[in-house]
């Protein structure tokens, strides 16, 4: 079987030890143990940064809403009720959107996994 595989594949240097088959390439264009070249366009990093920034903005809106709500309780004259309500609504809407995006990402991932 090994000699037949060796003849058909055209790759020299097939070794079999126990149940592991090791193939050595003879042409420099063949894929080997080289690391994948990193491209200048780092899409993964930019997506990661965009996701972190979005979560940070949602967190900042939540903190601002909480701060204004507490300030409304302790120093009611220093804060306008309209600003407190607007901050709370912004925080609620941004959190709702973040939850929706998360749920859709999980749904898409599950769909891809089940596609096999």
pLDDT in tens, 4-17: 444 444 445 555 55
pLDDT band at 25 (very low <50, low <70, confident <90, very high): low
The per-residue pLDDT for 60 is: 95
For the segment 73-105, what is each residue's pLDDT rounded down to a tens digit? 999 999 999 999 999 999 999 999 999 999 999
Burial class (CB in 10 A: 0-12, 13-18, 19+), 110: exposed
Q: Domain-by-domain residue ranges, the chain?
A: 43-114
The pLDDT assigned to 47 comes to 81
% of the chain residues with pLDDT over 70 = 62
pTM score above 0.75: no
């Amino acid at each position: 079987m090994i000699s037949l595989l060796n003849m058909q594949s055209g790759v020299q240097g097939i070794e079999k030890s126990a149940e592991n088959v090791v193939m050595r390439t003879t042409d420099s264009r063949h894929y080997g143990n080289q690391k994948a070249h990193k491209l200048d366009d780092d899409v993964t990093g930019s997506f990661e940064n965009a996701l972190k920034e979005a979560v940070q903005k949602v967190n900042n809106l939540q903190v601002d809403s909480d701060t204004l709500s507490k300030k409304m309780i302790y120093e009611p004259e220093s804060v306008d009720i309209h600003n407190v309500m607007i901050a709370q609504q912004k925080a609620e809407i941004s959190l709702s959107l973040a939850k929706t995006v998360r749920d859709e990402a999980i749904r898409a991932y599950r769909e891809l996994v089940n596609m096999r």
